[in-house]
Amino acid sequence: MKRLMTIGLIVAAAGLLIVEELSAQASTNQTVTVSVGEVYKIAVSGNPGALSITEGVAGLNQLTSVSDNSTTYGITQNVANTVKISAQLSAALPAGFTLRLQLASTKGTSAGLVDISSGSSVDVVTAIARGADANQTVSYTFSATADAGTLAPTVRTVTLTLTN
């Protein structure tokens, strides 16, 4: 009986050693550095249709303007509430021909329908809050006066710039 008890104690002690080894732990540490840089992203859904004036009213110098609002734009920015979008036509239009642009915005203040005919940079949305603004309407209106004459199909590039 003494011998059975001794064997039992030895088995129990061995079991404790095994459990202790199984529950032994080791740990280490890692240092992780994270950051987010300034993000300025702007994209458009495509190009507007051709803007061709073919109508006027007898006795009026101002011809019937044409518009297109078939495209959209989206932005993402994480910088500040002072971010803006400016627009610039690649080259000025001749006198008597006017191209206007309007960008809708839920994150900033739209300047409304802005004349971009001169080829100079013009602010079209200001005070844009941090975040994203998607599927916002881009509207173009083209007008001309009768005394300006005709204009053969003319291609211009409009550059939209998101900046602080």
Q: Can you give the CATH number for the domain in which 106 is found? A: 2.60.40
12 or 141, greater pLDDT: 141
Domains contained in the chain, number: 1
Report residue 143's pLDDT band, with 50, 70 and 90 as the boundaries.
very high
Q: Considering the domain boundaries, does residue 17 fall inside one?
A: no
Q: Considering the domain boundaries, does residue 57 fall inside one?
A: yes
Q: Which two tokens stand for residue 67?
A: 């518009």
Q: Is the pLDDT of residue 7 over 60?
A: no
Name the residue range of residue 84's domain. Answer: 40-163
Q: Considering the domain boundaries, does residue 141 fall inside one?
A: yes
Q: What is the pLDDT of residue 130?
A: 96
Report residue 6's pLDDT band, with 50, 70 and 90 as the boundaries.
low
Q: What is the pLDDT of residue 8?
A: 55
The 10s digit of each residue's pLDDT in 16-52 is 555 555 678 999 999 999 999 999 999 999 999 999 9
Beta bridge partner(s), residue 40: 77
CB 71 within 8 A of CB 48: yes
Q: Considering the domain boundaries, does residue 112 fall inside one?
A: yes
How many Cβ atoms sit within 10 Å of the Cβ of residue 138?
23
